Copies of this chain bind each other. A is one copy, B any other.
Amino acid sequence: MTEYRPVTPAVADELRAIVGERYVIYGDPERMLPYAYDEAAGEEHAHLPEVVVKPRSADEISRIMRLANRERIPVTPRGAGSGLSCGAVPVYGGILLSLERMNRILEIDRENMVAVVEPGVVTNDINEAVREYGLFYAGYPMSVETCFIGGNVAENAGGGRAIKYGVTGHHVLGLEVVLPTGEIVRLGGKRVKDVTGYDLIHLMVGSEGTLGIFTQVILRLLPLPRERVVLLVPFPDVPTAIGAVPRIVAQGRMLPAAVEFMDRLSVQTAYDFIGERPPHPDIGAMLLIEVDGYTREQVEAEYDAVVEVCLEAGALDVYVGDNPATARRMWRPRQSLAEAFKVVSPVQSLEDIVVPLAQIPALMPELERLSRKYDVLIPCYGHAGDGNLHATVIKRPETPMGVWEERLPEVLTELYEVVARLGGTISGEHGIGSKRAVYLPLVMDPVLIELQRRIKRVFDPLNILNPGKIFPV
């Protein structure tokens, strides 16, 4: 275990010399406070950095990393801070390296259909920039309007469209990376195929900022679908709703762009929050299905097939949103869910467990059992198409904080054990970070954890880059 050293005024001066006076925050806790958090970190996970630096280039980052190694100071890279596993929280203090200034779209290469971007570009801005060329970037985390692409790559972000388009990693063709020891290397390039040596790109993708700092990302672009239809489908209960999903794909012979799921509690809470009535009185679960494509004929044929399969599978009804206004309205309850549950109780643990699709019906009674046993709410919603569910453990307003704090680790332990038993895992898209590190051994063979620790050491012998993440201390 590395003994870390403090950030002294002399080190702060060196940092100022590297990035410029304006881009260092030191000795000013108030201005550093926003960098102590991410979207998941409550008081118990937050941690103030000793210094915040905002470099503008790979070269500056390289010099910072060499300094950090020389001085044994931990470095925590940070994108937009929209992460949900405390991955950008500087749990050992040290240097918080914010990538907010590296926010340029460097190139839109239409002929090769790639975009070259810096890590601090807001994901949605990429799509705004390439739309006019009939192209799009298919990565689609739910926080697309605030998150940075660099964070998406670091966490291998998923989102609602992974069933058809895959997760972030599917679209990353190349990376420029500053290694923990300061070398600047380039992986991959403007090519879809590459088997020259080990796949270091996808070792970097999802490594949660522990193996390198991305300074450029080469993204594959796809032709932009011109047509899009949303179907809102109420079901009487969870098994019926989930049972419809594989049938949509196999029997309907198509891949929807998204299949979102909401259980009864999620439906009620969401519609209460937006002040509307749920679409059916007997609703026990709901699917929100998006179909996209390049021609009207295709999308119509595909959504006809979905409607037919859903009704056959026991749907109570099917509502079709075939224009942008209706589609937006249908997505509203799903999109407001996280906020809606925060109103019920701001104290909660947003989870993103994954189970094989066909195991979702077996998962639901377990969630009910856990919520009774521990007297918490556990609504469940998320990306049914890929079995990635945001089962959210929520404190009842009347439960005292002390009781909740004692209970939560027990709930999570038991939840993760259930997930593992069903063939799933504890994080599909949010990452382990510092939030779930202690739980990793519940779902992972110690041999694999040890291999990963050793891979980490290959890249970062002094454990300088984002320590305290992924691996239990």
Contact = CB atoms under 8 A, between A and B. Distances in A.
A170 B170 contact: yes
Q: Which of A203, A355, A443 has the most CB of B within 10 A?
A: A203
B357 A195 contact: no
A460 to B, nearest CB: 11
Contacts of A470: 197-198
A47 to B, nearest CB: 22
A428 B297 CA distance: 36
A81 interface: no
Interface residues of A, number: 94
Contacts of A199: 156, 169, 202-203, 205-207
Interface string A121-160: 0000000000001110000000000000000000110100
B166 A135 contact: no
Contact of A387 (B192, B387, B426): B192
Say whether chain A's binding surface is mostly helix, strand, loop, or mixed: loop
A455 to B, nearest CB: 6
Contacts of A224: 253
Contacts of A403: none
A459 B451 contact: yes
Contacts of A355: 191
A170 B166 CA distance: 9
A434 interface: no
A250 interface: yes
Contact of A198 (B167, B203, B297): B203
A253 B223 contact: yes
Given A191-B356, A192-B386, 15 more contacts: A111-B246, A111-B358, A113-B249, A134-B251, A185-B447, A190-B357, A190-B387, A193-B387, A194-B428, A196-B426, A197-B440, A197-B444, A203-B203, A223-B250, A294-B302
Q: Which 10 A-B pairs have the closest CB atoms?
A: A193-B428, A298-B298, A111-B358, A297-B297, A202-B202, A190-B356, A192-B386, A295-B301, A454-B458, A223-B253
Interface of A: 109-113, 133-135, 155-156, 158, 162-163, 166-167, 169-170, 179, 183, 185-187, 189-200, 202-203, 205-208, 211, 222-226, 246, 249-255, 293-295, 297-298, 301-302, 354-358, 383, 386-388, 423-432, 440, 443-445, 447-449, 451-452, 454-455, 458-459, 470
